[in-house]
A and B are shown apart, each in its own frame.
Chain A
């Protein structure tokens, strides 16, 4: 076992745990960035410096695209089971990956890469299956592909420079896609607004944590389904006055301050009460 590789692989898994657990969007992006930067380093032998630079630059660009797409968004749904449970699940998967290195035959890559790949895929399953938040779905997708790449490194020859370039393109595409979806969702009312738009139930309240949304200045999740995306409302037809009198004129120009209401006169008792 190569200790340095194990440390880098551990960092990648820690970044993935942070990405799927954190509620703060910035922490989520930081976790993704750690995974993407650690990616080229979990290999034996290491790629050429140019390839490492290309992968690191691609990771930075992907994280930047994510940040652009999520600018202004502060909270995401986060994990429902808490980061310790996520970390334990990742650790268990990593042990399985390490123990089954080669998947049936002698492998050409390091066992640490396969362990990290298994851990990342295990972490990606929950957001992919249960995620109603488009950012969590995106993070799950990113981790799934990253995990598959780790496993590939663990099984096969180390990728050559040309392949590293294509992996860099894939990384940028993934970051850009998640950023675009996040931006579209935010423009439509929030990262979780999409489920409301198509009639799905709103996210369940987290079991493992108190709701910190109020602490960070975000409206807490309401058990009632929020109102869907705002649409232009047609003006209501004027209501006929109940009592004879002058109909109200629609206000012209800027709205005047509302006058104090006069106390309503009690209704006369209806005659048909029985």
Chain B
């Protein structure tokens, strides 16, 4: 199956959900049904299938398939937690549309088309960052977000357009490649809110609903970064230019984000800010992936992108569940939360393990490889151990949780399952066997109806335990991905299919990994004179 049905379902479900935004229940239901259908379609996607729409190829790949599956499943989990906590308007529809736009971007082998789709998907996020009826600050935050998206989109469009031609005379001007590479790298850093471009992202983290935070700060920028990786491997790396200054600058941005993002997350009291800055810190590793112009960086960079987005989504869902259950997300007001929410405590441990990781896990391997490839050895060692400091972040949250519960936590919902009302007792009145048999059947039917009538109330009463279970599943999924499960490494190793009839060097496509020949990344010989066209690194679509 091609990617087209996925896009159609996303467009229909997302638009339908937003059209019915006045009725929150229907809007969410349509989004959930759409996401279920998208999950099914994503599972059925064929990595080899491609389709030509108006001269533009949309091609599948193993990584795209995994991204689509994970995005749909994680979105379902996030919406489930949100429904139990706040039930934000617009968020489900925007999530569905944005996932569709991200998949469209990843499916396009032409980087020029891909950046357009990725930018359009990011713009959908403005709807949740600046919702109607919000305070004036939200409108300002939305305007800042729009500005950041426009700048990143324009930089990426210019970079891809500049190098889209057959190199020809351009090949004699390394500065052109350096500038274009730097422009796209900076665009990705701004999209991630990497430090020092974090101001707009911090404000978005403050204003946007928690359920949309992973989408705005992780999933959509990750798709943008994946497009950048493909473009760099096609258009810049084959030139085998040193580009040391540009690489150093991008690596510096990534390093600063990793270190300062962790520090900022450690000192924050608002859990949503902790999520935001931990996303910035993990995004620093993704930015480092752009500084690696070596085929060896291809697989770890794409592995890390998946590990990062799923892990941070689980953390955001955890914060959402805590906020919904106890009515606050300020850490000092959450003393004793772990005693009343042990399932969420277990989830936080899984999330922490995913985030910090250890040697042997795919997450650790990917992160350390990228750091090693992007930086000189002494600095790389220091940066490699920096993420271990995240233990302090999660330890602080857990430490607060095991204390004596305060008033807010005691008044919160708690995880203990409850039944909203006692079921009526029906004494037997029949005398004969047949009579008692009929009566038993009648009582069984009545008892079933009693339970059925109470199910909606029971769901409302048990919102917190249900949210906790959803968060536990999400954190389990994050741990699975961090461990290399679901074929993450194999999917990351594969490269997108060919552009087919698409023109220009933007056309990727290969059936082999970057380490093999042909593959993306720098070739062995300087290619200024010898066919530097990135098309040479990928085989055409069959």
A229 in contact with B150 given A105-B170, A174-B123, A176-B123 (CB within 8 Å): no
Instruction: Scan B120-160; emit 1 where CB is below 8 A from any A CB, else 0.
Output: 10011011001111111111101110110111011101101
Q: Using known A-B contacts A145-B150, A188-B134, determine if residue A170 contacts B120 with beta carbons closer than 8 Å.
A: yes
CA distance A161 to B53 in the complex (A): 8
B150 near A144 with CB under 8 A, answer yes
CA distance A157 to B169 in the complex (A): 17
- Select from chain A the residue with minimum beta-carbon distance to B110: A163
- A144/B136 contact (C-beta < 8 A), A165-B54, A181-B126 known: no
Among B124, B143, B167, B168, which residue has its beta carbon within 8 angstroms of that of A194? B143
> Contacting chain B: which of A21-29, A146-154, A215-223?
A146-154
Which A-chain residue is minimally distant from B134 (CB atoms)?
A: A184
Shortest Cβ distance from residue B525 to the other chain A in the assembled complex, whole angstroms: 22
Q: Which residues of B contact A121 (CB under 8 A)?
A: 154
Q: Is A107 an interface residue (CB 8 A)?
A: yes
Judged by DSSP, the binding face of A is helix
CB neighbours (8 Å) of B53 from chain A are: 161-162, 165
Asked whether, in the complex, the Cβ of B137 is within 8 Å of the Cβ of A198, the reply is: yes
Question: Would you give the shortest CB distance from A110 to chain B, in whole angstroms?
Answer: 14
> B154 contacts which of A51, A145, A183 (Cβ < 8 Å)?
A145
**Does A81 sit at the interface, judged by CB under 8 A?**
no
Q: Mark A168-200, 1 if CB is under 8 A from B, else 0.
A: 011001101110111111011100011111100
Stretch at the interface among B65-73, B111-119, B277-285, B401-409: B111-119
- Enumerate chain B residues within 8 angstroms of A107, measured Cβ to Cβ: 165
User: Interface size bucket, A side?
Assistant: 35 or more
The answer to whether residues A128 and B147 also contact, given A163-B116, A193-B136 and a CB cut-off of 8 A, is yes
Q: Please, how many angstroms separate the alpha-carbon atoms of A59 and B301 in the complex? A: 38
- CB neighbors of A among B61-117 (8 A): 101, 104, 108, 110, 112-113, 116-117
Q: Is the CB of A134 within 8 A of B56?
A: no
What chain A residues lie within 8 Å of B245 (beta carbons)? none
Report the interface size for chain B: residues with CB under 8 A from the other chain: 57
> A9 at interface (Cβ–Cβ under 8 A)?
no
User: A148 touching B158 by the CB < 8 A rule?
Assistant: yes
Complex partner residue of B165 from A149, A151, A155, A163, CB under 8 angstroms: A155
Partner pick for A141 among B146, B176, B502, CB 8 A cutoff = B146
Name A152's contact: one of B130, B161, B502 (CB within 8 Å): B161
A167 touches B116 (CB 8 A): yes
Beyond A105-B170, A184-B131, whether A229 also contacts B136 by CB under 8 A is yes
Contacts A160-B56, A162-B56, A178-B146; is A145 near B157 (CB within 8 Å)? Answer: yes
Q: Is B244 an interface residue (CB 8 A)?
A: no
Instruction: Tell me if B143 and A189 are in contact (CB < 8 A).
Output: no
Assembled-state Cα–Cα distance A156/B180 (Å)? 15
A154's nearest neighbour on chain B, judged by CB, is B161
With a 10 A CB-CB cut-off, give which of B116, B165, B170, B176 has the most chain A CB atoms. B116
CB proximity of B218 to chain A, nearest CB, Å: 20
Task: Give complex CA distance A264, B217 in Å.
Answer: 64
Whether A185 lies near B169 (C-beta < 8 A) is no
- Contacts A166-B117, A178-B146, A180-B132 hold; do A155 and B154 have CB atoms under 8 A apart? no
Q: Is A15 an interface residue (CB 8 A)?
A: no
Q: Tell me the minimal C-beta distance from B311 to chain A in angstroms.
A: 28
Q: Is A138 an interface residue (CB 8 A)?
A: yes
B106 shortest CB reach to chain A, Å = 13
Tell me the smallest distance from the CB of A202 to a CB of chain B, in Å: 13
Asked if B54 contacts A106 (CB within 8 A), the reply is no
B162 CB within 8 Å of chain A: yes
B143 in contact with A145 (CB, 8 Å): no
What's the Cα separation between A106 and B374 when bound, in Å?
34
In the bound complex, how far is the Cα of B112 from the Cα of A188, in angstroms? 38
Contact of A185 with B139 at beta-carbon distance under 8 Å, contacts A155-B162, A160-B55, A167-B116 already known:
yes
Known: A138-B143, A156-B112, A174-B123. A148 touches B136 (CB 8 A): no
A103 within 8 A of B: yes
- Nearest B residue to A155 by beta-carbon distance? B161
Q: Does A238 contact B (CB under 8 A)?
A: no
Question: Is B442 at the interface (CB under 8 A from chain A)?
Answer: no
Which among B54, B162, B164 is the interface contact of A160 at CB below 8 angstroms?
B54
Q: Mark contacts of B491-502 with chain A using CB atoms, 8 A cut-off: 1 yes-contact digit, 0 otherwise.
A: 000000000001
CB distance from B230 to the nearest CB of A (A): 16
Residue numbers in A under 8 Å from B164 (CB-CB) = 152, 155-157
A142 interfacial by beta-carbon distance below 8 Å: yes
A194 touches B113 (CB 8 A): no
A198/B140 contact (C-beta < 8 A), A106-B169, A145-B150 known: yes
For A166, give its contact among B113, B131, B503 (CB under 8 Å). Answer: B113
Contact of B116 among A151, A170, A185 (CB under 8 A): A170
Interface residues of B in 282-298 (CB under 8 A from A): none
* Proximity bits, A228-270, B CB within 8 Å = 1, else 0: 1100000000000000000000000000000000000000000
**Residues of A contacting B135 with CB < 8 Å?**
188, 197, 229
A residues less than 8 Å from B155 (CB atoms) = 148
Is B173 at the interface (CB under 8 A from chain A)? Answer: yes
In the complex, B504 has a CB within 8 A of chain A? yes
Residues of the A chain whose Cβ atoms lie less than 8 Å from the Cβ of B136: 185, 188-189, 193-194, 196-198, 228-229
Q: Which residues of B contact A188 (CB under 8 A)?
A: 134-139
Say whether A162 contacts B153, CB under 8 Å.
no
* Chain B contacts for A181, CB-based, 8 A: 126, 130, 139, 142-143, 146
Closest to B137 in A: A197
Counting from the closest, the 4 A-B pairs by CB-CB distance are A162-B56, A161-B54, A160-B55, A188-B136
**Apart from A145-B150, A166-B56, what are 8 other A-B pairs with CB-CB below 8 Å?**
A128-B147, A145-B157, A148-B161, A173-B119, A177-B142, A181-B126, A193-B139, A194-B137
Q: Can you list 26 contacts pairing A with B, beta carbon distance less than 8 Å?
A: A51-B54, A106-B168, A106-B169, A121-B154, A128-B151, A137-B143, A141-B146, A141-B147, A145-B150, A148-B158, A151-B158, A160-B56, A161-B54, A161-B56, A165-B56, A166-B116, A166-B120, A169-B117, A170-B119, A174-B150, A180-B126, A181-B139, A184-B138, A187-B132, A188-B135, A229-B135
Residues in chain B within 8 A of chain A (CB atoms): 52-56, 101, 104, 108, 110, 112-113, 116-117, 119-120, 123-124, 126-127, 130-140, 142-144, 146-147, 149-151, 153-155, 157-158, 160-162, 164-165, 167-170, 173, 176, 502-504
A residues lining the B interface (CB < 8 Å):
51, 103-108, 121, 128, 134, 137-138, 140-142, 144-145, 147-149, 151-152, 155-157, 159-167, 169-170, 173-174, 176-178, 180-185, 187-189, 193-198, 228-229
